[in-house]
């Protein structure tokens, strides 16, 4: 168990105070990055039920390291009292819920700013706080954001195959990254002006924002771009290919240099469809069809490791499509310490993905594993002025809750 004084000083964000009431991934991953880079993060789950992320083995444990954990019933009078104490303390508050949830509880931005005028508020929801009421009140998950934001439509194999969601939780993670940078940018401005900010992040909009030329192609030309699976929509030789050992490589044959160096390996040097200086081969052309077949035939002769090595030796863009077994055994992953080990309150010694990003002067680190459900209720509330008797009373009323061994 711990409180804010337990947190060591390290990282880019040492001294930053963050209160988090988000659920699953879309908001919590933002605060996870803050905590791993030195911020003091108090994360509050609902005492009505634990975060559903806990139902996925290791998910909570990977994404809530370095945080202080509470479990409180915010909409109750006693819960609001705790909530306001956290709000007065925090520099940033990040929440995720259906649009308007906190306003329905009487916790509008304006009410919250009465407690802390400099506070940066980040609302994360599926459809936003404002807009068509038929949508803003909808519940959302990662896949819903991908579906409504148009991202799912452009992923997957061509028709008649159905669109596919990008896994795992791509929408949630992209939303969280946007929440993180927006919160920090607004915090910088709040320090300058003394006035807080309220940020409205909708999952679906984060998906619409990362589609490169797809939206403009429709909005200006009226053309819906089709799904292509792993293939590039225009270029041959830019896809995933199965190798002799059943593993896969991704090859990107685009550009004069890579084409020039790859053609001899593929037996296409001197072919009239591949004149000197050719930059690329378009799909559905003689050159494109020949290139695709040549790559498939070449990969069928070698293991993925051999194809990777042969093409890399020729300086042709290629990479084995790694699974986690390959990643854990790979020399580069080991050299960069992508995976690490730490002590977890639930499972003991565990291995998982290391903190990020790497930094020379103010590196991130893991100082504790993810908290158990309500693990830090007592220590944190005592720090915020509650007595033992008051805390016991909050447990008796169900305002606070904790997992086994935490109270």
Q: Which residues are catalytic?
A: 172
Task: Provide the strand spans (E) within 325-379.
Answer: 339-344, 348-353
Angstrom distance (rounded) from CA 404 to CA 407: 7
Contact 18, 39 (CB under 8 A): yes
Q: How far is Cα 248 from Cα 304, in angstroms, rounded to an integer?
A: 6
Token digits for 201?
A: 């992040």
Span between the terminal Cα atoms of the chain, in Å: 10
Query: What φ, ψ does residue 158 adopt, rounded to 5°?
Result: -60, 160
Asked if residue 299 lies in contact with residue 241, where contact means CB atoms within 8 angstroms, the answer is yes
Distance CA(363)–CA(243), nearest Å, equals: 40
User: Helix, strand or coil for residue 171?
Assistant: helix
Length of the chain: 407
Name residue 319's beta-bridge partners: 250
Q: Say how far apart CA 189 and CA 92 lie, in whole Å.
A: 12
């Amino acid at each position: 168990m711990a409180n804010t004084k337990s947190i060591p000083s390290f990282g880019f964000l040492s001294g930053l105070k963050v209160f988090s009431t988000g659920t699953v991934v879309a908001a919590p991953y933002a605060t996870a990055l803050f905590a791993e880079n030195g911020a003091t993060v108090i994360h509050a789950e609902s005492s009505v039920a634990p975060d559903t992320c806990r139902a996925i083995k290791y998910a909570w444990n990977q994404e809530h390291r370095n945080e202080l954990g509470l479990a409180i019933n915010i909409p109750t009078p006693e819960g609001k009292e705790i909530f306001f104490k956290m709000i007065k303390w925090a520099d940033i508050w990040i929440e995720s819920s259906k649009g308007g949830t906190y306003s329905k509880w009487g916790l509008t931005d304006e009410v919250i700013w009465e407690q802390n005028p400099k506070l940066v508020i980040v609302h994360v929801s599926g459809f936003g706080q404002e807009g068509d009421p038929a949508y803003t009140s909808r519940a959302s998950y990662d896949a819903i954001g991908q579906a409504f934001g148009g991202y799912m439509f452009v992923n997957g194999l061509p028709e008649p195959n159905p669109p596919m969601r990008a896994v795992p939780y791509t929408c949630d993670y992209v939303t969280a990254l946007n929440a993180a940078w927006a919160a920090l940018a607004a915090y910088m401005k709040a320090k300058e002006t003394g006035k807080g900010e309220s940020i409205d992040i909708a999952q679906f909009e984060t998906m619409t924002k990362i589609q490169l030329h797809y939206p403009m192609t429709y909005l200006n030309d009226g053309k819906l771009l089709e799904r292509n699976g792993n293939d590039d929509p225009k270029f041959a030789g830019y896809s995933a290919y199965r190798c002799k050992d059943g593993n896969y490589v991704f090859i990107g044959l685009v550009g004069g240099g890579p084409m020039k160096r790859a053609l001899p390996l593929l037996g296409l040097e001197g072919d009239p469809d591949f004149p000197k200086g050719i930059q690329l081969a378009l799909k559905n052309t003689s050159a494109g069809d020949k290139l695709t077949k040549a790559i498939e035939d070449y990969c069928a002769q070698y293991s993925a490791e051999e194809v990777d090595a042969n093409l890399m030796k020729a300086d042709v863009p290629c990479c084995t499509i790694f699974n986690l077994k390959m990643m854990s055994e790979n020399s580069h992953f080991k050299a960069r310490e992508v995976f690490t080990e730490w002590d977890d309150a639930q499972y003991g010694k565990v291995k998982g993905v290391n903190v990020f990003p790497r930094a020379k002067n103010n590196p991130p680190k893991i100082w504790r594993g993810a908290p158990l459900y309500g693990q830090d209720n007592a220590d944190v509330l005592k720090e915020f002025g509650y007595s033992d008797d008051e805390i016991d009373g909050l447990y008796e009323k169900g305002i606070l809750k904790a997992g086994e061994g935490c109270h």
